[in-house]
Amino acid sequence: MLAHALQGVRVVDLSRILAGPWCTQNLADLGAQVLKVERPVQGDDTRAWGPPFVTAASGEKVAAYFLSCNRGKQSVTADFADSTDRDWLLRQIRDADVLVENYKVGTLAKYGLDYAALAALNPGLIYLSVTGFGQSGPFAHRPGYDYIFQGMGGLMSYTGIEDGEPGAGPLRAGVAVVDLMTGMYATSAVLAALVQRGRTGHGQHLDIALLDVAVAMNANQASNYLVSGDCPVRSGNTHPNLAPYEVFACADGYIILAIGNDHQFAAFCGLMGADWHQQPEFATNAGRLTHLKRLRPLLREELARWQVAALGQALDANGISWGNINDLEQVFEHPQVQHRQMLQTVEHPQLGRLRLVRNPMLPAGQAAPVTPPPVLGPAALPEAAHYTQQET
């Protein structure tokens, strides 16, 4: 069962904000014991990234943002500059399998918490550094948040309404996608390093940079550029390689129409009572992309006559992919989302009832009991109190 795959693996989490915590939350969901080491008093920055907040019985407020990426962890506070706290932390690291940190390059070396020092203490340690620009290079010492890398990495250059249309200009994604993708790449790297350590007995330093991830996640857009030499441009809700593949207005709302091949387009035309698929300029996907400005008004006029529900039923009957544009209330009310048990509820002893999102790596209905995100922990634990999963 995946929920117990990392049982016995100990993780010291020195990361904060989103990319590092997303990685360590994944590890916790897979059964690892994660000790989240936070700054005294303030803790992880995202504890204050609200509203909205949940208020504990003690009066402590915890932002919903923090709750999204810190379940399954135990919190403890430590001051790296304090010798007693630092010695306690070194004892935890000596027995750990993984350490995750996202401090600026060189910061942890001042406290003897860099990879070279800790590898001498624990040769099997897998030490993951998550930074904006990586451990080397002319920008290595610069800080940066997700938004910066959505711009620098290219995503915002082709995300947004196309020039000449109302509201034209670059847009960021509505969630911190570079942070999240960095957390997922980091999770994969840690798991691979654990497998490799099982063969060699040696740990290693993993260097994951948000800028690298931002470049890599351009995916087909990067490939389009590298093949053609043409930079992709903002095109609103259209797809760079498929047509029609965008948002259309119906009489009572919007749908996403996603035509993946010429056969589907022919079926769609039949449903619409149109012969567009028989016209040479629209017969192939390449032709539809080339002549999209001519095709789009035809589609808009026809689809505007339909009610969303009726159109959806007709598209389903013809095997044509489509989707609603749901707000989050509609998302969690969707019967398939409910069937997949994506919403999980847990009772926190101090924060009360919390609603959390299931990790999709874990099979629906087979996930281990959810351990809630922690309130800010106490000072460094006593010598004998090695960390365990937080009790609910």
Q: What is the pLDDT of residue 384?
A: 38
Nearest CA to 155 among 258, 209, 232? 232
Q: What is the pLDDT of residue 3?
A: 81
Per DSSP, the residues of 167-191 read T-EE---SS-HHHHHHHHHHHHHHH
What is the full per-residue pLDDT of the chain (392 aa) written as tens digits? 788 899 999 999 999 999 999 999 999 999 999 999 999 999 999 999 999 999 988 888 999 999 999 999 999 999 999 999 999 999 999 999 999 999 999 999 999 999 999 999 999 999 999 999 999 999 999 999 999 999 999 999 999 999 988 899 999 999 999 999 999 999 999 999 999 999 999 999 999 999 999 999 999 999 999 999 999 999 999 999 999 999 999 999 999 999 999 999 999 999 999 999 999 999 999 999 999 999 999 999 999 999 999 999 999 999 999 999 999 999 999 999 999 999 999 999 899 999 999 999 998 876 556 789 999 988 876 553 444 433 32
Q: Which residues are CB-contacts of 22 (< 8 A; sequence separation ≥ 6)?
A: 69, 179, 180, 182, 183, 184, 186, 187
Q: What is the pLDDT of residue 286?
A: 97
Report the relative pairing of strands 73-77 and 33-38 from DSSP bridges: parallel
Q: What is the pLDDT of residue 76?
A: 97
Q: What is the pLDDT of residue 369?
A: 67
- In this predicted model, what pLDDT tens digit does every residue of 271-307 receive, in sequence order? 999 999 999 999 999 999 999 999 999 999 999 999 9
For the chain, what are the domain ranges?
Answer: 2-216+339-357, 245-326
Q: What is the pLDDT of residue 390?
A: 37
Q: Which CATH superfamily is domain 245-326 in?
A: formyl-coa transferase, domain 3 (3.30.1540.10)
Q: What's the whole-model pTM score?
A: 0.93
- In this predicted model, what pLDDT tens digit does every residue of 326-361 receive, in sequence order? 999 999 999 999 999 999 999 998 999 999 999 999
Whether 2-216+339-357 shares its CATH topology with 245-326 is answered no
Q: What is the pLDDT of residue 382?
A: 57
| Residues forming the active site | 179
Contacts of range 110-117, beta carbons closer than 8 Å, 24 or more positions apart: 111/80, 111/81, 111/86, 112/86, 113/14, 113/80, 113/86, 113/89, 115/205
Q: How many CA atoms lie within 13 A of 334 on its CB side?
A: 15
Q: Which CATH number among 3.90.1150.10, 3.40.50.10540, 3.60.70.12, 3.30.365.10 corresponds to the domain 2-216+339-357?
A: 3.40.50.10540
**H and E: helices and strands count for the chain:** 14, 15
